[in-house]
Structure 1
Amino acid sequence: MKVKNITLRRQFLIRIVSALFIIALCSGAIQIYLMKEQIIRQTNQEAEVLARDVLRTVEQTELATQSIEHQIDLKLISYAKHIATLLQGRPAEQITQEELLKIRDDLGLAGITIFQEAKSKDDIVGVVATEKEEIGFSFKKFGYYEVGKMLLSGGKPFIPGATFSDKNVLVLPIAQSGSHKTEPAFFKYAYYHAPNTDYIINPYIEANEVYHYTEVVGPNKTINKLMKENDVLLEIAVLHPKVFANPSLEKQLYPPLKKIEAGSFRLQTGKDRDFLTKRDMKKVSYIDKIDGKKVYKMFLPLGDDRVIYLALDYGKMSAPLYRHSIILIVSGLVSLLILFLLTARFFHHIYENIRKIQRQIKLLEEGNLTAKSEVNDGSELENLSESTNRMVDKLNQLVTDIQEQAAHTQRLSVLLEAVASQSVEKMYELSTEATMKSREQLYEITEFFDEMIAALQPYKQDENIGNVIERVEVMRKMANEQTAATTEMTIALSDLLQSLHEQARELSEISNLLLDYMAKFKLS
């Protein structure tokens, strides 16, 4: 099967386009991969910066809150001891509400409650209080009966999250009141057992100021500020994973826990909840799809009990990088196109020079020994063109010389043929004449020898005569041989001249044929 010829230009274009296409494809794939990595890396960095801002605010707020609470703790403890001094160790039955109200107003407290062990010996309840809601408040109901017994026994109680704990003293963190059912109220509670008494003094102050302080300067303010300043930020929250794992913790009074300590967590999914309920939590980030929108989420653990959560608009964050990458890809494609045009132009110049040499060789193939090519690009093709031109000049000269020699040979062969033809005719006449003459002489000699032998035959008995007859026979034989040799030599010479004539004719024909071939070449 004959393979279809493909021009060098077409082969070059096919290969260069294929190579550039592969380069563009690989370059685009690599850029897309690097772009995605860059987007993830930049998103991580931005999310970590935001998380650090929230973390710093949380730490500062906690430090300020702890400092404020510590001052309140010391103040409440001093108030509790002062109340014990005012009560002078009297039993709880002798303490009246009016007395507690006066002490409350004098000290500027929110309220005072006296707790005493119930007659059933299985609970500690409020027996006297400035607020009627506090009467009957049960330690046991909220799981703190053992803590109350520890206080009454003069021990050092322990409650997770307590801001101060010592013998006979316990101060709880700011928490929502368990006895105020109508509307949420936040108080700071202290519990003090005066030695040699059977009750617990519980002074408390309203801590809405502290609560509002944490709301004003705490994480929520920072979160709101970040949300306003950063349009890619969808939501931030400080979460309590333990509450997600055990929702009942949100209902306990101490320590006060909420699933969402600050911020919002509206975009939560099952995947988020699965992560928050894990025991061993590490920094995690992933892309979630919510309502057809890509959301980048990051969870950054703060110790063992809290997690900073961030949700960012992945589309908005990646858009600038996508635009930048598209610009790079388009620039790369334009560069490849320019490279292709420059390469194609350069190859076109080379290809045209090759075509010049190709046309020259085609003319040489057709017998035109005057064909020349002009390539002036200073490259190897120019050297090839010059070499080919020199070869053409030499071929032209060689064929011209051969043509001249062929013409000369043709003239000589014609002359030789004419001379040989004349010589053959002359030799034929001479050989015929010589043969006839030698035969006539042989006939005369033979006749003479026959007569001599016939004359001597009667005397052949004579020894001398017999010898003469024998010699005559020998001479006759020699004469026959000499005549035959002369005839053969004449015939051979005639044949030689005939052969020379034929060869001269053949040489003339060859010369004519060679001249015909030479006539096909175009010479200068």
Structure 2
Amino acid sequence: MRRQFLIRILSILLIIALISGVVQIYFMNDQINKQINQEAELIARGIMRNIQETNLATQSIEYQIDLKLVSYSKYIAEKLKGKEAEEITQQQLLTIRDELGLAGITIFKETESKDDIVGVVSTKNQEIGFSFKKAGFYEIGKVLFNKYKPDLPSATFTDKNIVVLPIAQAASHSDKPSFFKFAYYHVPESSYIISSYIEANEVYQYIKKVGPNTTIQQILQQNGVVEEIAVLNPKVFANPSLEKQLYPPLKKIEAGSFDLETSKDREILTKSTIKKESYVEEINGKKVYKMFLPLDQNRVIYLSLDYGKMSAPLYRHSIILIVSGFLSLFILFLLTARFFNRIYENIQKIKRQIKLLEEGDLTAKSEVNDGSELEKLSKSTNRMVDQLNKLVKDTQDQATKTQRLSVLLEAEASETVEKMYELSTEATMKSREQLYEITELLDDMGNILKPYKQNENIGNIIEKIELLKQIVNDRTAATTDMTITLSDLLQSLHGQSKELSDISNTLLDYMAKFKLS
């Protein structure tokens, strides 16, 4: 029973431990995913905030430059007022350029075939012959020539006859990467467009310095779990040819790196509508947590984290919890086993006591001192044993006395019966002898008086003699009956005393089976 109970307890505790472990692992994985997601989103939000701040600063700086370029373009138009494109010389443009401190000025004119707009005069020879069509600006030029306000969402400034483009690398400066800001102004009532531009390398470098690349590098250096961060352009992933066009300048990766690119990533980035997505992917035997968070319509923040490094502390903590849980359950089992063993041993003590009581040992007692209900039961059983012992001893004493008295009674009854038998026999014989003598006497008297029975007095005497004979017979019979009845009574008393003696002996035999103190 004890073994069966301990096996059941151990089985129940193992089941509890198993269920607890499974539940902990489930919640641990859920907690790991939540924590990783929160950290990833926190980093992404930080990058997003940096990009927004950079954009705000860039927009503010570019707006000031835009206004300056607009005023410069109108000033140039005023200087060249009344001249056709063919009448404008490079020297005139160089003078105005130096006066305004510009990087360069180019005059663009529509070709004779009316299918392109090209540079005809410029402060830099490489700008001459530059084609709007090849650069992708032809539609902008046509709008300007038609005296409309250009509808160009990517432009930093637009107004009637003028458009200012964001800082970009100049297509005509292929010798080394140079960044400029261009303004295109169609002079009213003229056949040309003035392109004035300023060098924006410093502005570009400033934006690059405070932009997302710097923030990404800082995060990568400070946070050991971050694998990659990038600002991606989904449009370019959907249409890679956009990366080759000059304007607007588009790149797949606007900032950061995207070396862990997979087909699943491309599938996400080429969707028509991109929502926040995250998943765990194994790359080169390493688990990586990836998140894609839309920044705006054209940009997505990509973030990849080392899933193993991030989950390791939580896994360690969870393993410690699970091991401590198993250890606690094992200690609980040991305590339960010890507690049950003590209870079992105490129960066995009481069972052994009851077994001995069944066998007639009224000296059997149990010692249980655990302060539990079993101790109370043991003490109660011990008191019952003491009371039974006393009761059986008293009963035995009384049975002994009863046996002794019954033996005496039997002996005396036997002797009395014998004496009564002798007396009754003697009395019966005497009474019969007397009856015979009296009867004979009365018969003789009757025979003597019979001849004189006619005499009234004699007749009365004869009747009285007959009556007397009857009385004597009755008295003799009564004496005999009483003697017989008394003899029977004494014999019955003798039998009962013998039976009482047998009962006493039987009771003593039973009492002898008990072990008494």
Is the pair's TM-score, using the shorter chain for normalization, greater than 0.5?
yes
| SS of alignment partner, residue 483 of structure 2 | helix
Q: Indicate how the Cα distance of structure 1 residues 443 and 163 shifts in structure 2: closer, same or farther if over 3 A, else same.
A: same
Distance 2:471 2:257 in 1: 152
Specify which of 28, 46, 53 is matched with residue 53 of structure 1: 46
> What are the residue-to-residue correspondences of 1:464-475 with 2, within 5 Å?
none
| Unaligned stretches of 5+ residues in structure 1 | 1-5
Specify which of 56, 68, 75 is matched with residue 63 of structure 1: 56
Q: Which moved more, 1:496-505 or 1:373-382?
A: 373-382
Contact 1:114–1:200 (8 Å) recurs in 2: yes
Distance 1:277 1:155 in 2: 35
Q: Which moved more, 1:170-179 or 1:259-268?
A: 170-179
Structure 2 counterpart of 1:521, which letter?
F
State the identity %. 70
1:88 correspondence with 2:81: yes
Contact 2:137–2:247 (8 Å) recurs in 1: no
- The Cα offsets for residues 65-118 of structure 1, whole Å up to 9 and x where unpaired, read as 323323432343344334323433322233455655665577665554333334
Contact 1:111–1:131 (8 Å) recurs in 2: no
Query: Who is 2:152 aligned against?
Result: 159
Specify which of 18, 24, 44 is matched with residue 31 of structure 1: 24
Q: Indicate how the Cα distance of structure 1 residues 116 and 405 shifts in structure 2: closer, same or farther if over 3 A, else same.
A: same
Q: Indicate how the Cα distance of structure 1 residues 186 and 471 shifts in structure 2: closer, same or farther if over 3 A, else same.
A: farther
Specify which of 192, 203, 208 is matched with residue 199 of structure 1: 192
> What are the residue-to-residue correspondences of 1:115-514 with 2, within 5 Å?
115-129=108-122, 130-132=124-126, 135=129, 137-139=131-133, 144-178=137-171, 186-441=179-434, 483-514=476-507
Q: Indicate how the Cα distance of structure 1 residues 258 and 453 shifts in structure 2: closer, same or farther if over 3 A, else same.
A: farther
For residue 186 of structure 1, report the CA deviation from its aligned partner: 4.2
For residue 273 of structure 1, report the CA deviation from its aligned partner: 3.4
For residue 149 of structure 1, report the CA deviation from its aligned partner: 2.9
Q: Which moved more, 1:275-284 or 1:95-104?
A: 95-104
Q: Which moved more, 1:260-269 or 1:202-211?
A: 202-211
Structure 1 counterpart of 2:109, which letter?
Q
RMSD: 3.6
Distance 2:449 2:251 in 1: 177
| SS of alignment partner, residue 236 of structure 1 | strand
Distance 1:279 1:24 in 2: 49
- The Cα offsets for residues 96-147 of structure 1, whole Å up to 9 and x where unpaired, read as 55655665577665554333334444554444454456526144x6665443
Q: Indicate how the Cα distance of structure 1 residues 466 and 276 shifts in structure 2: closer, same or farther if over 3 A, else same.
A: farther
Q: Which moved more, 1:210-219 or 1:449-458?
A: 449-458
Q: Which moved more, 1:41-50 or 1:370-379?
A: 370-379
For residue 247 of structure 1, report the CA deviation from its aligned partner: 4.0
- The Cα offsets for residues 320-368 of structure 1, whole Å up to 9 and x where unpaired, read as 1211222233333333444444454455445444444444333333333
Structure 1 counterpart of 2:383, which letter?
R
Structure 2 counterpart of 1:135, which letter?
G
Contact 1:160–1:254 (8 Å) recurs in 2: no
| Unaligned stretches of 5+ residues in structure 2 | none
Equivalent residues, number = 516
Distance 2:462 2:266 in 1: 157
Q: Indicate how the Cα distance of structure 1 residues 449 and 209 shifts in structure 2: closer, same or farther if over 3 A, else same.
A: same
Q: Indicate how the Cα distance of structure 1 residues 430 and 89 shifts in structure 2: closer, same or farther if over 3 A, else same.
A: farther
Distance 1:144 1:476 in 2: 181
| SS of alignment partner, residue 357 of structure 2 | helix
Distance 1:457 1:235 in 2: 169
Structure 1 counterpart of 2:131, which letter?
F
Scaled by the length of structure 1, what TM-score is found? 0.84
Contact 2:353–2:366 (8 Å) recurs in 1: yes
Q: Which moved more, 1:128-137 or 1:289-298?
A: 128-137
Structure 2 counterpart of 1:84, which letter?
A
Contact 1:89–1:196 (8 Å) recurs in 2: no
Distance 1:449 1:244 in 2: 168
Distance 1:47 1:156 in 2: 43
Distance 1:273 1:479 in 2: 151
For residue 165 of structure 1, report the CA deviation from its aligned partner: 0.8
Q: Indicate how the Cα distance of structure 1 residues 435 and 272 shifts in structure 2: closer, same or farther if over 3 A, else same.
A: farther
Q: Indicate how the Cα distance of structure 1 residues 440 and 191 shifts in structure 2: closer, same or farther if over 3 A, else same.
A: same
| SS of alignment partner, residue 312 of structure 1 | strand
Structure 1 counterpart of 2:278, which letter?
S
Scaled by the length of structure 2, what TM-score is found? 0.85
Distance 1:434 1:102 in 2: 190
Distance 1:480 1:125 in 2: 186
Distance 1:318 1:475 in 2: 138
Contact 1:58–1:218 (8 Å) recurs in 2: yes
For residue 316 of structure 1, report the CA deviation from its aligned partner: 0.6
Query: Who is 2:515 aligned against?
Result: 522
Q: Indicate how the Cα distance of structure 1 residues 463 and 265 shifts in structure 2: closer, same or farther if over 3 A, else same.
A: farther
